[in-house]
Amino acid sequence: MSTVAEIEAVLPQLSTEELLRIEQALHQEYRQRGGNIIYDDSHGVVTDAYLIASAEDAFVAYDKEESEPTRAQAR
């Protein structure tokens, strides 16, 4: 089993406090590595990969909404 799979497997068993500590450790790791960080504050970091995924989700939702007929057109 890979390290990532092992980490993912144990996450549901952690308390909220433990998850917060994991999240803080990940944010610190991003900061230490630098690169690709677009936004960094006390809540965490935002990377270019995160922004690209968010934009893609928004475009998919927009395209879906545009392709559905409105209620006014259905009448």
Which tokens hold the place of 62?
Answer: 């927009």
Contact assessment for residue 8 and residue 22, using Cβ atoms and an 8 Å cutoff: no
Contact assessment for residue 45 and residue 39, using Cβ atoms and an 8 Å cutoff: yes
* pLDDT score at 38: 76
Show pLDDT as tens, one digit a residue, over the chain (75 residues). 689 999 999 999 999 999 999 988 988 887 888 777 777 777 777 878 888 888 899 999 999 888 887 655 554
* pLDDT score at 32: 86
Domain ranges of the chain: 1-33, 36-75
Backbone angles phi, psi at 69, to 5 degrees: -65, 145
Q: In Å, what is the CA distance from 53 to each residue of 26, 42, 60, 62?
A: 19, 22, 11, 14
